[in-house]
Amino acid sequence: MQLINNIPVWGDPDQESVNQMTEAMKYEAVFGALMADHHIGYSVPIGGVLAYENRICVNGVGFDIACGNKAVRVSANADAVRDGLYRTMNEVQKHISFGVGRRNKEVVEHELFDDPLWRDVPLLTQLLPKAREQLGTVGSGNHYVDIFIDDLDRVWVGVHFGSRGLGHTICTHFIEKAGGKDGIHAEPVILHEASDLGEQYIKCMELAGRYAYAGRDWVCSRVAQILRADILEEIHNHHNFAWREHHHGKDVWVVRKGATPNYPGVKSFVGGSMGDFSFILEGVDGEESKTSLYSTIHGAGRVMGRAQAKGKKDRKTGAILRPGLVSNADLQDWIKKFDVELRGAGVDEAPQCYKRIEQVLFAHRDTVKVIHRLKPIGVCMAGENEYDPYKD
């Protein structure tokens, strides 16, 4: 860890992200930190942690409110899963909805929809039909459903996604109501917790958080059903959210954008790329943990933008205007060597676009303990041609 512009930064500093974090800190933040998987984001870098007294940052939480990870260990036999993996991944792709604006192919009833907030807040009333349809859908970009084998030859299911169109619309609504703008370099939108807008946002954010938990619960259960297995253990965490916490003598709202809560003894699931290991971690106490506001990485972190990876083509003729840095052959070669059964995805999600997660974790070695290492054997994502303006 090193201090840059008085901000603690883990890992190899990305100057553009550090500059963005430095700028974001000017908008009433009292503490901040940048995790080792950081890269530039909308108004606040991914991997950024910001704390505010009596205030909350809308674009700090981000468009995919309550994006997070869930991993479950299941009772399936590892050899049997390996033997039937081709069919299993076909079933995952068939029964789980991937992509933007998708509806779940199955009707999901959940007690969450009985919450009076859906009726009390006009925005939520308007969004309820879409929320019902999209519960349990995964989305596009770096969102996934994975099947893993750990070092003890046990089977895990892991998922990564958030509150879908519900969260995106909530974020957009409150940025507009506060007079803010959308964009990578837009000023952070800061709301006082006691203002009418702030109170409404917090209610909507917290509901979106419960919605995201419910969606990830459903997908993990559905994949366990495909595997004809019971869930034996589960680890579940948001990494795009705001929590009321106490740090350095102050009661603050801690906004984590692509950063995972990492309190001592608390477990979390963080994912590598489709061709890399993922990990179950546990928080470790110490001065460095306090400096990080008890936060850690949410994944490996990008080293290459999507446009860099894919290149650019003429929409009408298909002619290559700028070649991409990663070819489909590069992607397939990596996946073949790592022995992954892949469904969906494109070169913008290739392992070459990401940092190596072991190196990222090494930067946080004094704040986390590795509990399990998970090797992906099956990965399912949205197709490469899915358009999503907020994939991260």
Give percent above pLDDT 90 in the chain: 86
For residue 385, name the pLDDT band (cuts at 50, 70, 90).
Answer: low
Domain-embedded: residue 392? no
Instruction: Evaluate whether residue 389 is within a structural domain.
Output: no
Instruction: Note whether residue 178 is domain-resident.
Output: yes
Q: Which of 106-115, 243-252, 263-272 shows the lowest per-residue confidence on average (mean pLDDT)?
A: 106-115
- Number of domains present in the structure of the chain: 1
pTM: 0.93
Q: Quickly list DSSP for 302-324.
A: BSS-HHHHHEEE-TTT--EEEE-
- Determine the pLDDT at residue 333: 95
Domain span at 311:
2-383
**CATH number of the domain where residue 104 is located:** 3.90.1860.10
19 domain-assigned: yes
pLDDT digit string, tens, across residues 163-198: 999 999 999 999 999 999 989 999 999 999 999 999
Would residue 50 count as lying in a domain? yes
Q: How far is 174 from 169, CA to CA, in rounded Å? A: 9
* 388 domain residue, yes or no: no
Could you tell me if residue 47 is inside a domain? yes
Residue 390 lies in a domain: no
Which of 277, 297, 278, 317 minimizes the C-alpha distance to 368? 297
Between the CA of residue 322 and those of 113, 313, 314, 346, what are the distances in Å?
47, 7, 9, 17
